[in-house]
């Protein structure tokens, strides 16, 4: 069952990345990404939490997932520790679209420390994407421990994030026989 869900997740990720093209309207990908980062920050500031805000954040995230692979110069490591939520979300979108194993420890640390629930949700999905790319047996024990510590800190009401993180930990435990 878990493999079927993971396969569906990979298919959905590919479909998301491949679907649509963000209209650049004469702007560079960098300019559009910067605008989306600002939009995300402004949206969180002016709109109360709820389904409408989540929907709009999802639109921003989808555009970032499509655009970030086009960025010629993007400092993922710096973005993961940025004080700006839109910049961190951009890093999560980039690693979701183009998983790079070298950033897994920093991504896990960013997810564990993420203060924005929406961003943490997508950081966890980026972690799953990176693990798909590198293989669960390549994940270091310290990274697994950090993920477990993160799980303990997520509020019990955040069912979506708890489920995502439990699925990640379950895959890792299955890969190495119960960690």
Which tokens go with 70? 């086009």
* 27 SS3 class: coil
Which tokens go with 143? 């990274």
Would you state the pLDDT for residue 25?
74
How far is the C-alpha of 141 from the C-alpha of 118, rounded, in Å? 26
Residue-wise pLDDT for 54-108, tens only, equals: 999 999 999 999 999 999 899 999 999 999 999 999 999 999 999 999 999 999 9
Q: Are 104 and 137 in contact (CB under 8 A)?
A: no
Q: What are the structural domain ranges in the chain?
A: 2-175
Q: With CA atoms as reference, report the closest residue to 70 among 14, 28, 130, 18.
A: 28
Would you state the pLDDT for residue 175?
81
pTM of the model: 0.86
Could you identify the residue written with the tokens 């086009």?
Answer: 70
Measured CA to CA in angstroms, residue 154 lies from 13, 113, 129 at distances of 24, 10, 20
Whether the predicted pLDDT of 20 surpasses 90: no
How far is the C-alpha of 154 from the C-alpha of 78, rounded, in Å? 24
Residue-wise pLDDT for 37-48, tens only, equals: 999 999 999 999
- Ramachandran bin of 20, using left for φ above 0, alpha for ψ from -120 to 50, beta for the remaining angles: left
Number of Cβ within 10 Å of residue 72's Cβ equals: 7
Measured CA to CA in angstroms, residue 178 lies from 29, 87, 170, 172, 175 at distances of 43, 35, 9, 8, 8
Q: What are the helix (H) ranges across 47-140?
A: 51-67, 76-80, 85-97, 104-113, 117-134
């Amino acid at each position: 069952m878990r493999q079927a869900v993971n396969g569906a997740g990979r298919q959905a990720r590919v479909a998301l990345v491949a679907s649509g093209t963000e209209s650049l309207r004469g702007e560079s990908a960098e300019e559009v990404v910067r605008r989306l980062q600002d939009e995300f920050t402004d949206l969180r500031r002016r709109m109360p939490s709820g389904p409408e805000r989540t929907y709009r954040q999802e639109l921003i995230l989808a555009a970032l997932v499509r655009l970030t692979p086009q960025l010629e110069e993007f400092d993922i490591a710096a973005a993961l520790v940025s004080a700006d939520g839109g910049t961190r979300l951009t890093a999560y979108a980039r690693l979701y679209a183009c998983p790079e194993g070298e950033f897994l420890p920093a991504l896990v640390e960013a997810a564990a420390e993420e203060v924005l629930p929406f961003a943490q949700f997508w950081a966890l999905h980026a972690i799953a994407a990176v693990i798909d790319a590198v293989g669960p047996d390549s994940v270091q024990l310290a990274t697994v421990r950090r993920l477990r510590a993160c799980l303990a800190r997520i509020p019990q009401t955040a069912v979506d994030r708890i489920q995502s993180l439990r699925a990640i930990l379950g895959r890792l435990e299955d890969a190495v026989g119960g960690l």
